[in-house]
A and B are shown apart, each in its own frame.
Chain A
Amino acid sequence: MNIATDSRRLLALLNGLSLLAMMLAIAAILTTAMTLQYAYGELPCPLCLLQRAAMFGVCFGIILHFRNGYSVRNTGVSLLFALFLLIVSVRQTLLDIYPRPSHSYIGSAAIAGFGLEQLAVPRLYNLKLLADIARWRRWASSTWMTTQA
C-alpha cells in the first residue's frame, strides 16, 4: 500500500472525526439548554430558539455527510446555518453587554458563557472549511502539475 493512499485514508478519518466532534459539541450545547429549560424552568428567549434552530441546521448538514458521503452541497447547508448562528449569537452577546434600559436583563449567556460556546461553533466550522480549502488547493495544484507534465 503506498503512502498517498494511507495519507488519504488518514485525512478522511480526521475529517469524519472532526465532524463527529462538532456534532457532539452541538448536541451537548442543545442538551444543556433543554435541561435548563425543562428541569430548571428557564424559558428561552426568541433569539435562543433561533440559535437552537440554526444549530439543528448545522447538524443537518453534518448528518447528510455521514449518510450520503462527503459533498460540497452538505458543507454549504451547514455553512449557511453556521453563518446565521454567528449573526444571531453576536446579536445576543451584544444585548448581554448592553442591556435595555427599560428592563435591565443580564442574560445567562453572559454569566455562563453560553454565547461564547455558540460563537465557537461557526468558528470551528470556519477552521474546518479553511482546512478543506487548503486540501483542495493542494489537490488542484498537484492535478495541474500532472496535466502539465
Chain B
Amino acid sequence: MMVAVFASMFVALVMGRYGPAWLAALSLLACLGLSVGLFLFEIYSPDYGFRMPWIQT
C-alpha cells in the first residue's frame, strides 16, 4: 500500500508536468486517501499497528 501511495504521488507529479491537470489532482487526492487509509490501518491494526493500549484515557 505504501508503494501505491508513492506511485500515485509520482503519477500526480508527472501529470502535473505533462498531462491534464484534472488527472494530476485526481492522483493527488488518491495519494491523500491512500495515506489516510494506511495511517488508520497502522493505528487500528492489533498486530502490526501502533495502537497504545497501555495509555488509559
A residues less than 8 Å from B55 (CB atoms):
98
A91 to B13, CA, bound (A): 27
Residue-wise, chain A 1-29 has the 8 Å CB interface mask toward B (1 for contact) of 00000000000000000000000000000
Residue of A nearest to B52 (CB): A98
A residues less than 8 Å from B36 (CB atoms):
84
B43 at the interface (CB under 8 A from A): yes
**A53 CB contact (under 8 Å) in B13, B35, B43, B54:** B35
CB distance from B10 to the nearest CB of A (A): 9
CB pair A57 B54 closer than 8 Å: no
A64 to B39, CA, bound (A): 26
B residues less than 8 Å from A47 (CB atoms):
39, 42, 50
Given A46-B2, A94-B52, A101-B54 in contact, is the A57-B9 Cβ separation under 8 Å? yes
Given A46-B42, A47-B42, A88-B39 in contact, is the A95-B32 Cβ separation under 8 Å? no
A78 to B12, CA, bound (A): 14
Residue-wise, chain B 1-42 has the 8 Å CB interface mask toward A (1 for contact) of 010011001001100100000000000100110011011001
Given A57-B9, A91-B50, A95-B52 in contact, is the A81-B43 Cβ separation under 8 Å? no
* Chain B residues within 8 Å of A, Cβ to Cβ: 2, 5-6, 9, 12-13, 16, 28, 31-32, 35-36, 38-39, 42-43, 50, 52, 54-55
